[in-house]
Amino acid sequence: MFPSLGATAFLFFETPMAEVASPRNTIIGHYVGALVATLWLFVFGLQDHANVLVEGFTPARAAAVALSVACTGGNPSPAPRRSPPAGATTVIVSAGLLHTAHQLAALAAGVALLTLSAHLVNRLLGVPAPRWAAPR
């Protein structure tokens, strides 16, 4: 559905016990990334603009992408949201590729559905993947 979900699926099945592959980090990471990127779209007045592929990479778009990624993954917050694929979600949203309420809802549903289905498949295969957070 979205490129960042492919990388998320890879983490769920290749490194199911890693903290970055936990359902908690996945859901919070993708949702925070999309929210932060949407915020920067509004700050730069890009919410109603065409995406970067149509409009080109303007200075405002470059700032929105850079600040979205910096605020999502570059801060030292202790919040449990570290998920490398969520960084791609942040870029996808801040680049305007997904920016409408309908598209963001589809993204949120895709993350939730992938997380749930990966959890069920791992459980059926006997993989001791965490239910919410990875053990410390």
Read off the pLDDT of residues 6-37 as tens digits, 9 standing for 90 and up.
999 999 999 999 888 999 999 999 999 999 99
Q: Whole-angstrom Cα distance, residue 90 to residue 37? A: 6
Query: Is residue 23 domain-resident?
Result: yes
Query: Is residue 60 domain-resident?
Result: yes
Tell me the CA distances in angstroms from 93 to 14, 35, 82, 104, one per residue in order. 26, 9, 18, 8
Range of the domain at 36: 3-124
Residue 72's pLDDT band, with cuts at 50, 70 and 90, is confident
Angular region, 79: left φ>0, alpha ψ -120 to 50, beta rest: beta
Query: Is residue 32 domain-resident?
Result: yes
pLDDT at 56 over 70: yes
The pLDDT tens digits for 114-135 are 999 999 999 999 998 898 988 7
